Structure 1
Amino acid sequence: MQATAQATQTTLDLGRQFLGGLGINLGGPAASAPSAATTGASRIPRANARQAVEYVIRRAGSQMGVPYSWGGGSLQGPSKGVDSGANTVGFDCSGLVRYAFAGVGVLIPRFSGDQYNAGRHVPPAEAKRGDLIFYGPGGGQHVTLYLGNGQMLEASGSAGKVTVSPVRKAGMTPFVTRIIEY
């Protein structure tokens, strides 16, 4: 429970910094709104949602070249993973996505299968920058961040690092997930 409270507080603080940079003050101390991070996407004013998505993409992109580490990644950046990633500081796919969204105050689940259900499902033909693309049953095998123009940003186990790749259709779930509406 302590880890959840700490993750929520960290995400709230990051979101307040981002929104403060846009001149938006949500008011009140962060500690008084522990559930705000879980609904952070709805707290981002729609007029600023596109800026939030671009910030999410920049935050994830700032990690280009960071090693892949299964189970790696925290709200603050790369971390040691688990099992095969135990000796590597880096990100796995869901850790990178969680890190990216935390930067705008949106706390999403840690595991890709849970991230798949964290937003609104959209047909892939309607995907926008910042939507999440998933692979495997229920999105449980892999998640990437859609960049547009057939490109995605991912922590790739096969490439061994955070990289930009062409969108792969094979194994893709029937929907992408939109976390921030714009």
Structure 2
Amino acid sequence: MRRAAVARSLVCALAAAGIIFSGPAVAQAAPSPSTVEAQIDKQWNQLEPVIEQYNDVHGKLIKNRAQQKKLAAQITPLEAKVDAAMRQVRGMAIDAYKQGAPNAVNALLVTGSPTGLTDKLLYLDQLARQQREQIAGVAALRDKLTATKTDLDVVTKANAARDVDLAQRKTAIEKKITSLQKLRIQAYGSADVNDGPFRLGPCPVDYTNDKGGRAAQRACDLIGKPYVFGSAGPNSYDCSGLTQEAWAGVGVHLDHYTKDQWNQGRPVSRAELQPGDLVFYYPGSLHHVSIYIGGGMVVHAPHTGDHVRMATIERGPIAGYRRPG
């Protein structure tokens, strides 16, 4: 009786998640854990590209806002300098008009005594032109920075709109993930039980005391940390957050986005793999990355409900390999 009740509840959970579709009334057997894992992997591969897109947009938004502040800080003193210089020009011009030009300067600029209105206006124009030439470089730099900031403002506004949209989609994704996690609980009987131990042996399998080896060691140190999408530590990680943290420990910056990390390392072949190299999965979408630890093994953050763990390198279709640093 108890087995039948468990089977019925699991079938209901699968149907609620969209994994089993309605049809003729046929008795359904409780799926095995491996069947549930296969369904979870299939749906997760549809969710993870959206997660990585959110990482990309959110990371760019943070960078753009920092650049906005930097440009604003540069523009403000330049504007003050230009305004002060222009006030000086106006003040000198007014004094010259009221009092007449100094004889030595006047001799160079005008003919005769600057007592007439025409001569005074000519002197005013020459003096203003001279002063404006002195501040032209500053004004040009100010205008260039202002134009750059204006363009950046437009891009940042667009990124902010996408960030809001993806954040809303993130909420929907989290609900879907919750339903997937319920399937895991049904299949395994406990949310804390996974498809095997986090460590499958020594980690790294091959230790080298270079940057790659130390990055691999850092990834091994993080085994057991829970997966949280969009997270780069210190208490949880997603796939690109894990590799970012591993390489940050040896002074190499990687962006928190799989496609950026693909472009931030140099290509290596399967035969050239060394501990610390990044292994990318799913050609085309590039929505998962792990770090090689030697012996045909990697460390990666798989998906929600799981933890940072060791796995064989063939945990999915491989897109290629990259070496950071």
How high is the TM-score relative to the length of structure 1? 0.60
Identity of aligned residues (%): 33
In the alignment, does 2:321 pair up with 1:176?
Answer: yes
Q: Which amino acid aligns with 2:210?
A: Q
1:51 to 210, 215, 223: 210
In the alignment, does 2:215 pair up with 1:69?
Answer: no
Q: Which amino acid aligns with 2:220?
A: G
1:33 aligns with: none
Unpaired runs of 5+ residues, structure 1, are 6-48, 79-89
CA-to-partner distance for each residue in 1:116-170, whole Å, 9 max, x for gaps? Answer: 1111111122211110000123462100000111100111117710000011164
Q: Which amino acid aligns with 1:125?
A: A
CA distance in 1, matches of 2:276, 2:285: 16
CA distance in 1, matches of 2:317, 2:61: 36
CA distance in 2, matches of 1:138, 1:115: 14
CA distance in 1, matches of 2:271, 2:304: 26
2:278 aligns with: 132
Report the count of equivalent residues: 124
CA-to-partner distance for each residue in 1:70-114, whole Å, 9 max, x for gaps? Answer: 11114xx23xxxxxxxxxxx1000000001111111111110111
Are the structure 2 counterparts of residues 73 and 63 from structure 1 closer, same or farther at C-alpha, using a change threshold of 3 Å? same
State whether residues 116 and 139 of structure 1, in contact with CA within 8 Å, keep that contact through their aligned partners in structure 2. Answer: no
- Cα deviation, residue 4, structure 1: 4.5
The structure with more radius of gyration: 2
Structure number having the greater strand percentage: 1
State whether residues 145 and 153 of structure 1, in contact with CA within 8 Å, keep that contact through their aligned partners in structure 2. Answer: yes
CA distance in 2, matches of 1:62, 1:98: 14
1:116-127 pair list within 5 angstroms: 116-127=262-273
Say what the alpha-carbon RMSD is for the aligned residues.
2.6
3-state SS in 1 of match to 2:263: coil
In the alignment, does 2:258 pair up with 1:112?
Answer: yes
1:97 aligns with: 243
State whether residues 68 and 92 of structure 1, in contact with CA within 8 Å, keep that contact through their aligned partners in structure 2. Answer: yes
State whether residues 116 and 138 of structure 1, in contact with CA within 8 Å, keep that contact through their aligned partners in structure 2. Answer: no
CA distance in 2, matches of 1:103, 1:127: 20
Structure number having the greater helix percentage: 2
CA distance in 2, matches of 1:2, 1:166: 35
Are the structure 2 counterparts of residues 136 and 104 from structure 1 closer, same or farther at C-alpha, using a change threshold of 3 Å? same
CA distance in 2, matches of 1:71, 1:95: 7
Are the structure 2 counterparts of residues 159 and 178 from structure 1 closer, same or farther at C-alpha, using a change threshold of 3 Å? farther
Aligned structure 1 segments of 4 or more residues deviating by more than 6 angstroms: none
